Amino acid sequence: MYVTRVLYSKICGFSFWYGEGRPRWLGPISYGYPSHLIGELPGDYGFDIASLAKDPVALHKYFNFEILHARWAMLASVGALIPELLHLLGPFHFVEPVWWRVGYSKLQGDTLDYLGIPGLHLAGSQGVVVIAICQVLLMVMLVSIIHIVL
């Protein structure tokens, strides 16, 4: 946290988004904002009704988890766009290239080919319940590894 405090003191004078004069979640309305949120982290608008940020160690851990989840979301957005682009440009033709209709196709009994290659079914031949169980187990393993590392 020492590095964060040093960077905070340097940034406060240069940026509109950090420090006491930063924008707040209620705008100009006066409110009893928590004293433990001093504007040292990105996105700190003074909103902490559950007091999750009171413990600095927990706040640092939550901050790291937020960055991790943002990276997963960016990866998911690329994973949602690539099949549609490949289908539109022509090198691969998918049963259902639109990401939000893949689950519906699976429930209708369609076999989904991985990368549009016929016969390549990584999780396409199993039922939806088996796929869901595999995803839950993989995410539990990933989060437990992250907890051990952090």
State the sign of the Cα–Cα–Cα–Cα dihedral 142, 113, 92, 98. negative
* Mean predicted confidence (pLDDT) in 64-91: 84
For 92-102, the pLDDT digits (tens) are 776 666 776 76
CATH superfamily, region 55-150:
Chlorophyll a/b binding protein domain (1.10.3460.10)
Q: Given a cut of 70, is residue 1 above it in pLDDT?
A: no
pLDDT of residue 10: 66
Q: Given a cut of 80, is residue 107 above it in pLDDT?
A: no
- Residue tagged 């950090």 (tokens): 18
Q: Given a cut of 80, is residue 137 above it in pLDDT?
A: yes
Q: What percent of the chain has pLDDT over 70?
A: 71
* Mean predicted confidence (pLDDT) in 117-137: 68
H or E stretch covering 149: helix 128-149
pLDDT of residue 124: 53
Residue 115 assigned ligand-binding role:
yes
Identity of the residue numbered 61: K
| Residue ranges of domains in the chain | 1-54, 55-150
For 60-76, the pLDDT digits (tens) are 888 888 888 899 889 88
CA distances 10 to 3, 5, 18, 112, Å, are 11, 9, 10, 53
Contacts of 56 (CB under 8 A, 6+ apart): 1
Residue 5 assigned ligand-binding role:
no
Q: Do residues 126 and 114 lie in contact, with contact meaning Cβ atoms separated by under 8 Å? A: no
Q: Which residue in 9, 3, 2 sits closest to 39, CA to CA?
A: 9
